[in-house]
Amino acid sequence: MLEAPHYSAAGARRSARFALPADYFDGTVNEPVLHQAVRAYLNNQRQGTHQTKTRGLVSGGNQKPWRQKGTGRARQGSIRAPHWRGGGTVFGPHPRDYRTGIPRKVRQLARRSALNARAREGALHVVERFAFQAPKTRQLVELLDKLGLGGRKVLILTAGHNPNLYLSGRNIPGVRVMRYADASAYDVLWSDAVVVEEGAITGVVPEVGELPPAPAPPDGGAAGGEGEAPEGEAPEDEPAETAAPARKRASRRAAPSGEAAKPKAASKAAKKPAAKKPGAKKPAARAPRKKKEG
């Protein structure tokens, strides 16, 4: 059974070593599988955007530099041929995809072999938990110094998402912070030492200490005074989700009064046709024009 040095959250070394699970840390290292996994990882990092020009892509060379015979020199068809200076490139790289697939079980076996290799070397360290209430680079540097890993390439594996620890370690050269489930075989082999949170191996994440309480308002009371809700918020007895629609419905139901109602009434009156006055005479019919005689 493989064992690893055990440390507390403050970096104090425990007297008893941490026993690694035998079903995963069995000490077997499969080097061919590690080679395959590392090669696939490096191939997948390549962009494949390299490009060279062939003789068909180089500008110029549209006609023969000299005539075929009679000059005493060798016959030439173009000054952009590969053997000419400034000519095209033969068998040069062109854009391609370097994507290399690897079976899932092979990838898992490679990751397992990498962790076993670090455990056999004594380069695997187990920390009880990472207690970072806020991002502090100095706190992480002091922790690594207590573990004897200062100035080395260190891979820190957490049990879950720990943003404070990630922000604390991203500015330290040679330190990578990621989740235990996200680490690949290449990441483990890249580092000189691996620091793992205890909960990542056992599957039981320890409870993190409570965060400090939020500061109280300077006046010691509510923001809007007693019995009054702050501006833009709903009263305590009415949920905030229903307060805003209720106000809109009430404003729509309220009937317009005073001058606000006049434009609406005026618009309705304008649409109605004008009423005829009683006793009004109709306009007389216009007499037809007489034709002029010839």
Bigger pLDDT: 213 vs 3? 3
- CATH code for the part of the protein at 3-30+104-202: 3.40.1370.10
The two structure tokens encoding residue 40:
């696939």
- Which DSSP state fits 154? E
d(CA 130, CA 140): 9
Confidence (pLDDT) at 1: 82
For residue range 208-221, list pLDDT tens digits in order: 444 444 445 555 44
Q: How many CB atoms lie within 10 A of CB 271?
A: 7
pLDDT score of 165: 95
Domain coordinates of the chain in residue numbers?
3-30+104-202
Is the dihedral angle over the CA atoms 121, 159, 28, 105 positive or is it negative? negative
Residues 167-196: what's their mean pLDDT?
95
- 3 state DSSP class of 127: strand
294 pLDDT higher than 70: no
The letter for the amino acid at 144 is L
Residue 173 pLDDT level (bands cut at 50, 70, 90) = very high
Report the amino acid identity of residue 283. Answer: P
Please state the pTM of the whole predicted model: 0.64
Output 196 or 271, whichever has higher pLDDT: 196
The residue ranking higher by pLDDT, 15 or 241, is: 15
Distance CA 55, CA 227 (A): 85
% of the chain surpassing 70 pLDDT: 69
Please, which pLDDT band fits residue 277 given cuts at 50, 70 and 90? low
CA 198 to chain CA centroid, nearest Å: 27
pLDDT at 126 over 80: yes
Residue among 41, 1, 3, 52 at smallest CA distance from 23: 1
What would the pLDDT profile of 27-59 be if each residue is shown by its tens digit? 999 999 999 999 999 999 999 999 999 999 999
- pLDDT tier at 204, thresholds 50, 70, 90: confident
Give yes or no for residue 26 having a pLDDT over 70: yes
Q: Is 50 helix (H, G, I), strand (E, B) or coil?
A: coil
Element (H, E) at 290: none
pLDDT (mean) for 149-168:
94
